[in-house]
């Protein structure tokens, strides 16, 4: 017979995930609520309180049957459960146990709040994939990016509960938009579900992952006017001819044992990339380009072609000029001086239009 029960609540920037457990950690049921962030998130804790009341009523339980309520929030949390600021929820300073205690008329001492990644790490340490280890690090990816750290069985909260908050570490250069925290260059701007969807131009991150699993080749057909038909470089294009050519992006990856950038075309005036209901057209005076299904980073970090990710995108790189690739052979000889890029300023001008 079930005696005491426990509620575990994960407050995310998009949804609130609620778990109803026995006091030994067995999941009884789970529920998701929308995170209502309007008006500085004033509805979030009342929604949680209402869920707890309804769940108790459905299972014919009383408040005296609750052993405890644990809440994880995406931000730094002090030991007393005070959230200093939670940008993904619109909160400023909120004492979560105190507020929820008032809403439920339930002892504040039985309500604990912590950083969402820290409490997620604690759950994995107790009942999940970390239960066989004394020290673990957990990274959570959702609306933001969080980190939870347990050393020798003890959660490391750090100053004001901000330990392992990797999402707001300034790791990314070149971003022209600010993070929710007000800074620029935070990891979660590109690595969170929100950031992934923004970079991919999709409605949500799930669409990106679904496309990756399905092997979506996205925009596949390339037509261009330039040197061809095979790949060529400024020191490897004497046999190339100026003309109109077409190829499939999948076929543009040279099957080297050790993957690397490839597929360049020189002296290009015009190109188009076509996919299902999509088309991108580029025009310029004289430029070079490559079109592959992988980023330079993905190619450089794969030791074998089998380590390349599933195809989910088309990556178009446009250059004013690329240096030559080798000297008299391709086994380590240095590029001849005339095929190196000089120190003078280079100007790349092109126009593009399309339907994506």
What is residue 1's predicted lDDT score, i.e. its pLDDT?
Answer: 47
Q: Beta strand pairing status for 82-83 and 94-95?
A: antiparallel
Cis preceding-peptide flag for 229 (omega within 30 of 0): yes
Query: Which residues, 6 or more positions from 74, have their beta carbon under 8 angstroms from its beta carbon?
Result: 11, 12, 13, 86, 88, 89, 115, 116, 142, 143, 144, 146
| Cα angle for residues 75, 32, 115 (degrees, 5° grid) | 15
Query: Which residues, 6 or more positions from 159, have their beta carbon under 8 angstroms from its beta carbon?
Result: none
- pLDDT tens readout for residues 257-280: 888 889 999 999 999 999 887 899
Is a pLDDT exceeding 90 seen at residue 231?
yes
- pLDDT tens readout for residues 295-315: 888 998 888 888 898 887 899
Q: Between these two residues, 1 and 3, which has the higher pLDDT value?
A: 3
DSSP at 89: T
| Cα angle for residues 208, 210, 212 (degrees, 5° grid) | 70
Q: Beta strand pairing status for 66-73 and 111-115?
A: parallel
Q: Cα 9 to the chain's mean position, in Å?
A: 23
Band the pLDDT of 256: cuts 50, 70, 90.
confident
- What is the average pLDDT across 332-339? 83
- What is the average pLDDT across 333-347? 82
Residue 90 tokens, joined:
């619109």
Query: Which residues, 6 or more positions from 135, have their beta carbon under 8 angstroms from its beta carbon?
Result: 150, 151, 152, 153
Average confidence score pLDDT of the chain: 89
Q: Beta strand pairing status for 66-73 and 350-355?
A: unpaired
What is residue 326's predicted lDDT score, i.e. its pLDDT?
Answer: 77
What is residue 331's predicted lDDT score, i.e. its pLDDT?
Answer: 67
Name the least confident of 77-81, 211-215, 248-252, 280-284: 211-215
Distance CA 316, CA 282 (A): 11
Is a pLDDT exceeding 90 seen at residue 109?
yes
Do residues 311 and 293 lie in contact, with contact meaning Cβ atoms separated by under 8 Å?
Answer: yes
Closest CA to 220 of 245, 252, 243: 252
What is residue 347's predicted lDDT score, i.e. its pLDDT?
Answer: 84
Q: Cα 84 to the chain's mean position, in Å?
A: 25
- pLDDT tens readout for residues 117-141: 899 999 999 988 899 999 999 998 8
DSSP string, 34-45: E---HHHHTTHH
Distance CA 149, CA 199 (A): 28
Reported pTM: 0.57
Distance CA 286, CA 288 (A): 7
Query: Which residues, 6 or more positions from 41, have their beta carbon under 8 angstroms from its beta carbon?
Result: 35, 86, 89, 90, 91
Is a pLDDT exceeding 80 seen at residue 330?
no
Q: Beta strand pairing status for 5-11 and 66-73?
A: parallel
What is residue 137's predicted lDDT score, i.e. its pLDDT?
Answer: 93
Q: Give me Rg for the CA atoms of the chain.
A: 27
């Amino acid at each position: 017979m079930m005696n005491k029960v426990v509620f575990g609540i994960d407050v995310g920037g998009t949804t609130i995930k609620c778990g109803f457990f026995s006091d030994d950690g067995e999941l009884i049921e789970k529920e998701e609520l929308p995170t209502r962030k309007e008006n500085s998130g004033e509805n979030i804790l009342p929604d949680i309180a209402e869920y707890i009341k309804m769940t108790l009523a459905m299972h014919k339980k009383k408040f005296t049957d609750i052993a405890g309520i644990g809440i994880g929030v995406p931000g730094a949390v002090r030991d007393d459960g005070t959230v200093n600021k939670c940008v993904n929820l619109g909160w400023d300073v909120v004492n979560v146990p105190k507020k929820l205690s008032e809403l439920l008329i339930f002892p504040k001492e039985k309500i604990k709040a912590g950083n969402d990644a820290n409490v997620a790490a604690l759950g994995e340490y107790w009942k999940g994939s970390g239960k066989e280890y004394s020290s673990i690090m957990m990274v959570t990816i959702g609306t933001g990016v969080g980190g939870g750290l347990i050393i020798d069985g003890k959660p490391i909260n750090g100053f004001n509960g901000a330990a392992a908050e990797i999402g707001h570490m300034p790791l990314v250069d070149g971003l022209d938009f600010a993070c929710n925290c007000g800074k620029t260059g935070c990891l979660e701007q590109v690595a969170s579900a929100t950031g992934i969807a923004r970079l991919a131009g999709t409605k949500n991150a799930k669409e990106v992952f679904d496309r990756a699993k399905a092997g979506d080749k996205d925009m596949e057909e390339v037509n261009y006017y330039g040197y061809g038909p095979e790949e060529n470089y400024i020191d490897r294009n004497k046999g190339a001819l100026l003309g109109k050519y077409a190829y499939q992006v999948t076929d543009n990856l040279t099957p080297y044992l050790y993957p690397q950038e490839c597929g360049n075309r020189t002296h290009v005036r015009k190109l188009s990339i076509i996919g299902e209901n999509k088309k991108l057209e580029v025009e310029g005076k004289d430029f070079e380009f490559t079109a592959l299904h992988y980023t330079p980073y993905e190619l450089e970090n794969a030791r074998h072609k089998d380590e390349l990710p599933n195809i989910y995108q088309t990556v178009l790189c446009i250059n004013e000029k690329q240096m030559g690739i080798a000297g008299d052979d391709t086994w380590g000889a240095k590029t001849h001086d005339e095929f190196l890029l000089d120190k003078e300023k280079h100007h790349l001008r092109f126009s593009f239009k399309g339907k994506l």
